[in-house]
Amino acid sequence: MLNFSISRDAGRSRNSVSAFFEAQEMLTLSIREDDMADGFAPLAFTADIEAETAAVWDKVKHHVTPMEWRLHAPLIVEINRLKREKNAAILAHNYMTPDIFHGVGDFVGDSLALAKEAAKSDAKIIVQAGVHFMAETSKVLSPEKKILIPDLLAGCSLASSITGADVRLIKERHPGVPVVTYVNTTADVKAETDICCTSANAVQVVEWAAKEWGTDKVILIPDEFLARNVARQTDVKIIAWAGHCEVHKRFTPQDIADMRAAWPGAEVLAHPECPAEILEASDFAGSTAAMNDYVAARKPAQVVLITECSMASNVQAESPGTQFIGPCNMCPHMKRITLQNIYDALVHEQYEVTVDADILDRARQAVQRMIDLPPPAAPARYDLVKARHHVDVELI
């Protein structure tokens, strides 16, 4: 931790120039001591480290400069050593930067895959390389494990759009209607929920809930765009909430038109957190895992991923024959997670994510119900909306 406190006496007892230099010296000393205490000083990039990380470098070299790599590689080696020493595992979302995704992630994937992995893993400590709601989901599924998030401020605009109290009001307004909640929510929202979903299984979960409750209506919150995109693929009426992903809502049909004009052969893949008109202009739409599978299976010559920027960098390493073209938008919350703060998280076992016991049990039921459903034959394809006419969404 850097200590920027400067003695006020220094300025009073001497002239301001000498006070300034004295303060600078104190500051420098304090930084050096604290750097060593926190392991903040750069670790050495040795020939051994270079050799040990050569395979990772090969995957990330198109996205990381050699100068950055000299800082990343020793951290990757140290993080992987600490994981073994502490029986820790790192769950890395598809939106992590390539150095994290390929360098230290033990399990990588979309929200659904990571939620399942948290439940299965026998590690004592889980470091969530993702955002806070993901760490809470891991805690809910594995209450006996220590769940760490490297930066407590790694939030999500969807998760912060709604509270448990909001869900109670929605239920009062629509008694008897099942509540399906996207995993991008806090644990207190999940606790008010009948079943969770991710973008990979949302259609399946909505149809299951309607059948199970014997109704033709389902509440699907908090992502308005996901709800509208789901509604285009089912006859179940959807009651939605006006929450949005700040990353996916920024894409416009003009972005896609511009890309198609510049790269006529490129295939356009979009995430279902985007507005419906983006999906209509795309060739394929699905969760981050579905986009990954599409590229791996079809090997398009050129592809545009309408989602968070790191996704393309991570998929590219496994698809050398495909050219990835922008545009993309950066998630500022995901980007709070770095190799340095993952390292600090493991050294200091910080920051622990806890969930109140009364919330935890109810939230677990909602997440577990989703996990217990048979996996969808294939992750939902939201581009199939073109075939449907019936859309019925009531916005709360």
Which residues bind to ligand SF4, rule: CB under 6 A? Answer: 131, 156-158, 184, 245-247, 273, 308, 331, 333-334
- Does residue 313 touch ligand 13P according to CB under 6 A? no
In Å, what is the CA distance from 92 to each residue of 70, 115, 216, 316, 319?
A: 22, 11, 37, 17, 19
Minimum Å gap between C-beta 186 and ligand SF4 is: 12
Minimum Å gap between C-beta 110 and ligand 13P is: 3
Minimum Å gap between C-beta 171 and ligand SF4 is: 24
- Does residue 288 touch ligand 13P according to CB under 6 A? yes
Residue 288 interacts, among ligand 13P, ligand SF4, none and using kind-specific CB cut-offs from 5 to 8 Å, with: ligand 13P
Residues 6+ apart with CB under 8 A from 157: 243, 244, 245, 246, 333
Residue 121 interacts, among ligand 13P, ligand SF4, none and using kind-specific CB cut-offs from 5 to 8 Å, with: none
Select the span of 23-31, 107-115, 205-213, 258-266 touching ligand 13P (CB under 6 A).
Answer: 107-115
- Does residue 329 touch ligand 13P according to CB under 6 A? no
Minimum Å gap between C-beta 61 and ligand 13P is: 25
Backbone torsion region of residue 109, taken as left when φ is above 0, otherwise alpha when ψ lies between -120 and 50, otherwise beta: left
- Does residue 314 touch ligand 13P according to CB under 6 A? no
Residue 198 interacts, among ligand SF4, ligand 13P, none and using kind-specific CB cut-offs from 5 to 8 Å, with: ligand 13P
Q: 210 or 270: whose CB is closer to ligand 13P?
A: 270
- Give the residues across from 374 on adjacent strands: none
**Which position among 111, 193, 229, 341 is part of the footprint of ligand 13P (CB under 6 A)?**
111
Minimum Å gap between C-beta 345 and ligand SF4 is: 18
Cα end-to-end span (Å), the chain: 45
Structure tokens at 90: 């790192």
168-187 positions binding ligand 13P, by CB under 6 A: 184
Q: At what angle do helices 309-318 and 288-298 cross, to 10 degrees?
A: 30
190-229 positions binding ligand 13P, by CB under 6 A: 198-200
Q: Helices marked H in the chain — which ranges?
A: 8-13, 16-38, 47-52, 54-60, 66-86, 98-103, 111-120, 132-141, 164-173, 187-190, 202-213, 224-231, 253-262, 276-280, 288-298, 309-318, 339-348, 357-372
For 167, phi and psi rounded to 5 degrees?
-65, -40
Q: Count Cβ atoms within 10 A of the Cβ of residue 275 and give its class: 0-12 exposed, 13-18 middle, 19 or more buried.
A: buried
Q: 112 or 312: whose CB is closer to ligand 13P?
A: 112
Q: Are 306 and 282 in contact (CB under 8 A)?
A: yes
Structure tokens at 141: 């599924």
- Does residue 110 touch ligand 13P according to CB under 6 A? yes
User: Alpha carbon 331 to chain centroid distance?
Assistant: 9
Minimum Å gap between C-beta 271 and ligand SF4 is: 8
Q: Which residue has tokens 């908090």?
A: 222
Minimum Å gap between C-beta 59 and ligand SF4 is: 23
Q: 93 or 232: whose CB is closer to ligand 13P?
A: 93
Given the rule CB under 6 A, which residues bind ligand 13P? 94, 110-112, 184, 198-200, 245, 273, 287-288
